[in-house]
Chains A and B, each alone.
Chain A
Amino acid sequence: MKLLIIEDEKALNASMVSYLQQGGYTCDTALNYHDGSRMLADQHYTCVLVDLTLPGGNGLDLVRVLKKNSPDTGIIIISAKNALDDKITGLELGADDYLTKPFHLSELNARLRSVIRRRNFNGQKVIRIGNLEVFPESAEALVQGRKLTLTKKEYDLLLYFVTNKNRVLTKDSIAEHLWGDHIESLDSLDFVYTHIKNLRRKLVEAGSEDPITTVYGMGYKFSI
């Protein structure tokens, strides 16, 4: 799967490339509007990550062009502007998602997966890791063919882990993924712990080995 990352901040661009490459994506990068526009014309990408404030032009124009010329390409807008109208315009123009900087790379990865899954109708409908199967369409998970009874949050957590398997996920990023803006004023880290504890118990009870390991005090890692 080929991605194009159009972001003028070199360091951030490199971080995204580094994280996403580990997830098996091929990444092209563009640091300004014209390079981005040229590369979009030359090649076909599965998904494009585009910043709105680019040297040489507005990312929204790229979204517009892309939507016209290559409607099956997924688009995620990455912007430091949390301006509501930009978000609305972006989504109206046909962007699939809108991420405000700063974001967690794991969150970006999860959103990217979700966009690709939604767009890729004929593709993979089940994610298999060891004896675990996750069906994003029906929001179900099976262990050794047996259905897990998960709450909505536990399922979201599992999908987040599966999408970012073998990566260290911080409690903050998990909390933000599960609760969004609400986490701002809640002692969410205890909740994360509780949810992870429950998810682990359910996975183990269903016959899986415990796939979630605690990485020092830093966070959690999912690996089978």
Chain B
Amino acid sequence: MRILTKTSLYYLLVSVIVFLLGGLSFYKILQTEIYDEVDDQLFTDKENIIEYIRSHNELPNVTSGISEAIIVRETSAHAGALEALSDTLIFSTYDEEYVPFRKLTFTTYQDGKPFEYTILKSLMDFEDLFESTMLAMAWIFVLLLIGLAGVNYFINKYNWRNFYDTLERAKRYSLTQRKPLLLKPTDTQEFQELNEVLQAMTGKIHNDYLNLKEFTENASHEIQTPLAIVSSKLELFMQSDNLTQAQAAMLEEMHASINRLSRLNRSLILLTRIENQEFSENEIIPLHELLQEQLDQLHEMMLMHDIQVEIEDMQPVFVEMNIGLCEILISNLLLNAIRHNSTGGIIRISLRADELCIKNSGEPLQEEPVTLFERFRSGNKLSGSMGIGLALVSKISELYQLTPSYTYEEGLHVLRLRFQKNIT
């Protein structure tokens, strides 16, 4: 929920409560005032009637203008003096509805005989007043709503514009862009502070990132150079004429280990670089063509292992990726299928718009499939692999929001890559 919607709802809630309470107390106050007024009038009428009777010794008639309605009833003397105020409803034949009245009943004596007088005053005016007040309140409420919407719209458009702009820029910001986060200056203090904090923060993160990147590159440089020296010296050593067989065997082992180490180092550097998202130059790649290319390159190795490739499906699929990483991804998947195959086995490949599926025959896994994509996991030690191939697959997949999954179905290892976006 947007912050403006939220604040508007709070405003609205408070307004409703204020209007309800306000309306109620307004009603109460008005009622009390009007009752006071009406009662005053009734008592005045009463005084007038008594005065009239005293001077004229007869009842005032309706046209005398003293009161709207007077009802006179003879009453027994012992009933005592009475004076009571009350509300009553009288059916009006003209309006065909009950109309509220205030009535005052009192007793007075004429010629020594007690009479009970009842005078009435209509409260119709009061009802009307109440209704129009409520209507006015409702109108004010509606106007307030419209005003609120208008104010919100303008605040949104002019005040919050800078905030949304900042948000959009921050969303699009990527460390690998090598550009600092540039935000529009604003005259709203909070947003300006936010911008400054964001800029300082990204600046610092960017610096750290550069340091890390530099460290990674330096580390690789520092490790690769001694490796290169040892490797080259060993190679020169091997060219010596008078080596014994035992010395040669040692040299060979050293050389092989150095090679392994340097390949491992390269792979780890690659993993770090993928993690650092350094491969941000993407292009649209025809995956079906790249897959075919990689299959051709590995054709020879498959022949040597006597592995048959069956293409179940090969639809044209285009993905947006870094070409180098895409090659590494596909070749590692295929190499994995060759490596963990049995001699005379098969590889089944299907490429569809939503997924790439590579199945290969081979012994079932000895370990949990979840560990498959971790580093330094190799199913069997005899192959001498470093178990970094599928870790690379997993890292690259993560980068491009592809979902790799592993299952074992009908004697086949099945590796699936599900494409989510990137499909054009």
Q: Which residues of A contact B (CB under 8 A)?
A: 9, 11-12, 15-16, 18-19, 22, 53, 80-84, 100-106, 153, 167-168, 170, 172-173, 176, 181-182, 184-187, 190-191, 194, 215-219
Q: Which residues of A contact B243 (CB under 8 A)?
A: 216, 218
Contact of A187 among B229, B383, B386 (CB under 8 A): B383
Q: Is the CB of B252 within 8 A of A217?
A: yes
B239–A167 touching, CB < 8 Å:
yes
Is A101 a contact of B255 with CB atoms below 8 Å? no
- 7 A-B pairs besides A11-B232, A80-B228, A102-B230 with CB distance below 8 A are A19-B239, A22-B239, A84-B279, A100-B224, A176-B259, A185-B389, A186-B338
For B258, the chain A residues whose CB sits under 8 A away are: 102
Query: Whole-angstrom distance between the alpha carbons of A172 and B266 in the complex?
Result: 16
Contacts of A219 in B (CB 8 A): 238, 252
**B238-254 at interface with A (beta carbon < 8 Å):** 238-239, 243, 245, 248-249, 251-252
Give which listed residue, B238, B239, B259, B324, contacts A84 with CB less than 8 A: B324
A191 to B252, Cβ gap below 8 A?
no
**Chain B residues positioned under 8 Å from A101 (CB to CB):** 224-225, 227-228
A105→B335 contact, CB < 8 A: no
Query: B301 to A105, Cβ gap below 8 A?
Result: no
Partner of B232, one of A81, A105, A153, A172: A105
**Known contacts A102-B227, A194-B304, A218-B248: does B335 contact A185 (CB below 8 Å)?**
yes
Min CB gap A2→B, angstroms: 21
B331 within 8 A of A: yes
Contact with A along B365-386 (1 / 0, CB 8 A): 0000000000000000001111
B263 within 8 A of A: yes
Residues from chain B with Cβ under 8 Å of A11 in the complex: 229, 232-233
Q: Inside 8 A of B339's CB, which chain A residues have their CB?
A: 185-186
A52 nearest in chain B by CB position: B221
CA distance A96 to B331 in the complex (A): 26
19 contacting pairs across A/B (C-beta < 8 A):
A19-B235, A80-B224, A81-B221, A82-B220, A83-B217, A100-B224, A101-B224, A102-B228, A102-B230, A105-B232, A153-B300, A181-B331, A182-B301, A182-B335, A185-B335, A185-B389, A215-B248, A216-B248, A217-B245
**B62: CB under 8 A from chain A?**
no
A18–B300 alpha-carbon span in the complex (Å): 36
**Could you tell me the distance in whole angstroms from the C-beta of A56 to the nearest C-beta in chain B?**
16
Are B252 and A170 touching (Cβ within 8 A)? yes
Nearest CB of B to A164, in Å: 10
With A15-B236, A83-B217, A216-B243 given, is the CB distance from A182 to B229 under 8 Å?
A: no
CB closest residue in chain A, given B389: A185
Residue ID in chain B nearest A179 by CB atoms:
B301
A22: B residues at CB distance < 8 A: 239
Task: Check A218 against B232 for contact (C-beta < 8 Å).
Answer: no
Q: Is B231 an interface residue (CB 8 A)?
A: yes
Q: How many angstroms between the C-alpha atoms of A16 and B217 in the bound complex?
A: 24
Query: In whole angstroms, what is the CA distance A80 to B267 when docked?
Result: 14
CA of A82 to CA of B223, assembled, Å: 12
Q: Which residues of A contact B238 (CB under 8 A)?
A: 168, 170, 215, 218-219
Which one of B232, B269, B298 contacts A15 once the chains associate, using CB atoms below 8 Å? B232
Residue in chain A with minimal CB distance to B234 = A170
Provide the bound-state CA to CA distance between A73 and B200, in Å. Answer: 48
- Check: B25 CB closer than 8 A to any chain A CB: no
Q: A19-B235, A170-B255 are in contact. Are A9 and B225 (CB under 8 A)?
A: yes
Q: How far is the CA of A173 from the CA of B235 in the complex (A)?
A: 10
Chain A residues with CB under 8 A of B304: 190-191, 194
**Given A81-B220, A184-B267, A187-B384, residue A15 in contact with residue B229 (CB < 8 A):** yes
Shortest A76–chain B CB gap in Å is 14
Across the two chains, which residue of chain B brings its CB closest to A18? B236
Contacts of B386 in A (CB 8 A): 184-185
Q: Which 5 pairs of residues, A with B, have the shortest CB-CB distance?
A: A102-B228, A15-B232, A216-B248, A80-B224, A101-B228
> A53 contacts which chain B residues (CB < 8 A)?
221
User: In this assembly, does B256 line the interface, its C-beta being within 8 Å of a C-beta of chain A?
Assistant: yes
Closest to A191 in B: B304
* In the complex, B403 has a CB within 8 A of chain A: no
Q: Please name the residue on chain A nearest to B298 by beta carbon.
A: A182
Q: Do A218 and B225 touch (CB < 8 A)?
A: no
Whether B159 is near chain A, meaning CB under 8 Å from some CB there, is: no
Residues of A within 8 A of B324 (CB): 84
Residues of the B chain whose Cβ atoms lie less than 8 Å from the Cβ of A104: 231, 235
Q: What residues of A have a CB within 8 angstroms of the CB of B255 in the complex?
A: 170, 172, 218
Q: Is there contact, CB below 8 Å, between A218 and B252?
A: yes
Q: Give Cα distance in the complex from A168 to B221, angstroms.
A: 28
**CB pair B235 A105 closer than 8 Å:** yes
B336: which A residues are within 8 A, CB to CB?
A: 185
Within the complex, the shortest CB–CB distance from A94 to chain B, in Å, comes to 21
Digitize B256-292: 1 where CB-to-A-CB distance is under 8 Å, 0 elsewhere. 1011001100110110000000010000000000000
On chain B, the residues within 8 Å of A176 by CB distance are 259
Give the distance in Å from the alpha carbon of A81 to the alpha carbon of B219 in the complex. Answer: 10
Give min CB distance, B228 to chain A, whole Å. 4
B332 at the interface (CB under 8 A from A): yes
A102 touches B221 (CB 8 A): no
Most buried by A among B220, B252, B269, B339: B252
Residue pair A12, B221 in contact (C-beta under 8 Å): no
